[in-house]
Amino acid sequence: MSDKTEQGSDHIDRLRGQWQRELPELDTSPMAVIGRARRITLRLRPGIEAVFARHGLDAGEFDVISTLRRAGAPWRLTPTELYRTLMISSGGLTARLNRLEAAGLIRRHEAEEDKRSLLVELTEAGHAKAEAAFREDMELEKRLLAGLSQREQDELAVLLRKLALSLEDNGAGAS
């Protein structure tokens, strides 16, 4: 069954209609945003992850090397800076770093100014891989957004930023 009917409604419209029939007093308008955002994420994820896989990476590994790449020269950060940026546990980061180091995409070494501190640095191979994967990802994402005009994309980006900031300000998230 297609996500669109002849009236232009989508899966979320159908769900809301079913809930309206079953619980007519309940406001299901949040589903119009949150439900669609979730479905969009679930639909987009496999294609984006396939881009990373073509570069020999999973999404978490890409997150690490892209964070290092966009940090700018000399493309190095402390593990603490990395896991705070990526919002993952230090244990989760360690596992990713181990895989990336084994693949020759990063190296870890002591900081010159503080021998107790460790630095994670992108290798030349990691630099090239991060950039190539990111370029391909942006090409894919541009194609995925082709159903919206540039103006619509800009408007949606403004609204999504507003929602993201509101959620951050309110400490919203998992409960």
- 18-49 confidence digits (pLDDT tens): 999 999 999 999 999 999 999 999 999 999 99
70 lies in some domain: yes
* Nearest-angstrom CA–CA distance, 154 and 164: 15
Six-digit token pair at 14? 């159908």
Produce one character per residue of 21-34: b if its CB has 16 or more CB atoms within 10 Å, e if not. eeeeeeeeeeeeee
Eight-class DSSP state of 107: E
- Percent with pLDDT over 90 in the chain: 77
Give the structural domain span for 113.
Answer: 57-144
Tens-digit pLDDT profile for residues 127-160: 999 999 999 999 999 999 999 999 999 999 999 9
**Which residue in 67, 173, 175 sits closest to 122, CA to CA?**
67
88 with 21, same domain: the answer is no
132 with 61, same domain: the answer is yes
H/E stretch holding 20 reads: helix 11-22
Across the range 81-102, mean pLDDT stands at 90
- Percent with pLDDT over 70 in the chain: 92
Angle between helices 90-102 and 59-70 (to 10 degrees): 90
* Nearest-angstrom CA–CA distance, 16 and 111: 55
155 lies in some domain: no
71 with 140, same domain: the answer is yes
Say what the pTM is.
0.84
50 with 17, same domain: the answer is yes
137 with 116, same domain: the answer is yes
* Nearest-angstrom CA–CA distance, 13 and 8: 9
171 lies in some domain: no
